[in-house]
Structure 1
């Protein structure tokens, strides 16, 4: 059951990541001023990524370890770090100093690392497969 929760939650994580990336790109293209919605989306993406990482760690200790998991775990940890850095920094900046580009770069990096981590265990980011 935990495996299916972890596997299914990736759709929500990827969806929120794509929404975050899309909103940040929209902000860059239109030249809008930075707003709270961007910060909320980025925090939601980071929070869901952390929850997914926590489920993965619990799953790691609950099931059998195999070497391909190393190629899954490492990119996922770095993806969680990438998703966390910008919202933490932007929260501390003055509103006038907040920009969209860091969100574009780190969200794209986090999503790329997530996809690489999913492929590392022989699964598809959008496909569902049994254990």
Structure 2
């Protein structure tokens, strides 16, 4: 169970890094007014896939007998909402006749905000390793 917790806790850094890289790329695309390319889909899909893996690890952790604390409701809700936001806006953008940078930026940027709030909801630092209070 401790391995699952460490994997879940450590994967957040990869989710955050890929999300930040995607946001920087989407902003640069908007600012330069260039057409969206294949990298938009690759970065968006990579972020969404990592986020899905993170949620799956969290659910397995909960199902494995990890002690459930009431603050986990906020964490779980915010993380699921982040995944839904990212997926919906990335799929809508992909199905547009002319995909752009704005919808992926809102999807990934909004998801990162929700993820940060979800991490804070359990008393952990977004970039630090503050222990979960008992």
**TM-aligned CA deviation for residue 61 of structure 1:** 1.3
Structure 1 unpaired stretches of 5+: none
Distance 1:130 1:116 in 2: 16
- Distance in 1 (alpha carbons) for counterparts of 2:129 and 2:69: 20
Provide Cα deviations, 1:23-66, integer angstroms capped at 9, x if missing partner: 00000001111100011000000000000000000011121111
CA distance in 1, matches of 2:35, 2:96: 14
The residue aligned with 1:102 is 103
- Say yes or no: does 1:12 pair with 2:42: no
Local SS of the residue matching 1:88: helix
Give the superposition deviation at 1:128.
2.1
Q: Pick the structure with more helix per residue.
A: 1
- Which residue pairs with 2:79 in the alignment? 76
Equivalent residues in 2 for 1:27-38 (5 A)?
27-38=29-40
- Normalised to the residue count of structure 2, the TM-score between the two structures is 0.91
Structure with the larger RCO, 1 or 2 (CA within 8 Å, 6+ apart): 1
Distance in 2 (CA, whole Å) between partners of 1:4 and 1:130 is: 12
Displacement of 1:79 in angstroms is 0.5
The 4+ residue runs of structure 1 with deviation greater than 6 A are none
State the alpha-carbon separation in 2 of the partners of residues 120 and 106 from structure 1. 21
**RMSD over equivalenced CA pairs, Å:** 1.2
2:28 paired residue number: 26
Q: Distance in 1 between matches of 2:130 and 2:114?
A: 20
TM-score (norm 1): 0.93
Gaps of 5+ in 2: none
